[in-house]
A = this chain, B = another copy of it.
Amino acid sequence: MGLPKEVNITEVCPRDGFQSLPDHVPTETKIDIINRLIDCGFSQMEVTSFVHPKAVPQMKDADEVLKGVKKSNNVLFRALVPNLRGLERAIAADVEKVKLMLSATDSHSLHNANAATMEAMDKFIPLVERAKESNTKVAGSIAVAFGCPYEGEVPTDRLLEICQRYEDMGITDISLADTTGMAHPVLVKRVISTLREEKPHFHFSLHLHNTRGMAFANAIAGLEEGITDFDSSAGGIGGCPYAPNASGNIATEDIVHGFEEMGIKTNIDLDAVIEVGRILAEQFPAQSDSFILKAGKSKDLVTAPGKQVKIGEK
């Protein structure tokens, strides 16, 4: 299958998951969950978004959260920033990497950022300069990369054009997001193979939603095209912005379990993630969506050898 031996999972529940909850998660809960997630072994975590508290009240305590969480040299904190003000807050909070928010299509960009895509990218220029000054890493993102609710399928040329603009700014670490859950394995393979062929020096990662049940299949399509970085959310916290009761982020325990079953190392303590997922599912039952929390690990299903039924025993 041409699968890698090892992958990196970026935990995004503290940002994407908590942002999607209807109510603000108490600051101490966020800090507790992030601390527990650090202990699971993630090398990267999307901890918050430095947006205006009126725009996204769920993230109003971003600065406090960053102050409260324990320090660890093993995990790199990534935060979303929409503008220079957000970047300054991220720098003040000692965040090592910021991720820029961008939509693949003008229609989606106008809805989310009040600017067409390229106009939004122009506004990134001073941010990138400021980040460079402060030695803050910058990652780019492309939302609705595999389908837009207004424009449908996104031409790969459009994605390449956006990549080029990112590259002109010195950004080659790009998260491709299936915001709408419209991706399918054939599309993922087509898009990734073209992007990686045209931009072999880029580092692409996948942010997949399980809205239509294809997230894990899409992850494998990505793996087979050389992707080794994936976002996921513990407990499957985070819904779909376009269908109220539908699934959103693939659950971390589901992707880690699946990859490990397939012999791909994630370096994540699966049992520890399941425990965090369980805590999250207890607190936010309506927003949790996880197969492994319901079904348990494959290995746990198997009766201990001593308990096996022998022929004729029954």
Contact = CB atoms under 8 A, between A and B. Distances in A.
A313 B110 contact: yes
Contact of A213 (B185, B189, B254): B254
Interface string A251-273: 10010011001110000000000
B1 A303 contact: no
The complex is assembled from copies of this chain, and their number is 2
Nearest to A264: B186
Contact of A212 (B211, B220, B258, B308): B258
A204 to B, nearest CB: 19
B185 A301 contact: no
Contacts of A186: 1, 3, 261-263
Nearest to A212: B291
Contact of A107 (B106, B257, B309): B309
A150 B314 contact: no
Report, nearest first, the 8 A-B pairs whose CB atoms are least far apart: A246-B295, A213-B291, A217-B217, A107-B309, A152-B302, A182-B298, A184-B261, A186-B262
26 contacts: A1-B186, A106-B309, A106-B311, A110-B309, A114-B314, A147-B301, A147-B302, A148-B302, A149-B301, A150-B303, A151-B302, A180-B298, A181-B295, A181-B298, A184-B262, A210-B213, A212-B254, A212-B258, A212-B292, A214-B258, A217-B258, A242-B295, A243-B296, A243-B301, A246-B291, A247-B294
Given A107-B308, A184-B262, A243-B301, 12 more contacts: A111-B309, A147-B298, A149-B301, A150-B303, A180-B298, A181-B298, A182-B301, A184-B298, A185-B220, A212-B258, A212-B292, A216-B216
